[in-house]
Amino acid sequence: MRSEENKDSFEYGKLNYLDSVYLSNLSPEFLALAEQARAESRKLNKEGISVALSEAYVISEQVKQAGCSSYMELGSLTGYSALFLLRGLKSGGTLFCFEKDPHCADFIESLFKNISKVPELAGKNVIVLRGDAKEALANWKPPSDVGGAFIDANKSAYPDYLKWIEAHLKGSYLILADNVFLGGSVWGLIDTPFSKKQAVGMIEFNKSLVQNPRYSSYFIGTSEGLLVARRKD
């Protein structure tokens, strides 16, 4: 998410420009729900850890291009990125949102109650799974059509999430992972809010995907780093 303190920066201007271009592809009804999700994250003082519109649009298009019928989101906060993920799914698709915070889980369920009149979301479904993502996954059997996961939960657990995905999803699938730069921690910056444990785990996670011939993987240079990895059949 962009910082309001750097309105004259290249990064701030770039994100504003991208937002302005993408907005015309989103219905007023969709944007109204997105603003509700954004407002709730602002109310919780967590807007800074939510993805920007331009970043959410990218993950939506990635899911759409992959042709996913259902998908997982690990760490949903107030549902902003979930809206875009659901947008990318096929008609009748289902998004499984794993969210630890009870308040956020309640909010997400209320946000998606009335989506029948939202053109991008009509006929699709959201199911919220509560609790720590790692623990919830241990007790969950994914439907056979789950086409991958967007990872944006506990940064230390990214390697664990990957192990679960590789053990439970079959065939080709799409992994999207946010915050994979950890504010520069992965290349040695020390003045960041992330621990050494988190940095070591993220470095392991990134290498496990980008340097693995079973995946077609690459980074997208968003503010915090987005990793796209397509598992080959």
Domain range summary for the chain, segments of one domain joined by +? 4-231
Give the residue from 230, 34, 37, 53 showing the smallest Cα distance to 149: 230
Residues in the chain: 233
- CATH placement of domain 4-231: 3.40.50.150
For the ranges 25-39, 46-60, 61-75, the lowest mean pLDDT is seen at 46-60
Q: What is the mean pLDDT of residues 167-177?
A: 96
pTM of the model: 0.94
What is the three-class DSSP state of 123?
Answer: coil
Round to whole Å and give the CA distance between 26 and 34. 10
Burial 170-207 (b: 16+ CB within 10 A, else e): eeebbbbbbbbbbeebbeeeeeeebeeebbebbbebbe
Q: Which residues on neighbouring strands pair with residue 200, listed in sequence order? A: none
Determine the pLDDT at residue 233: 78
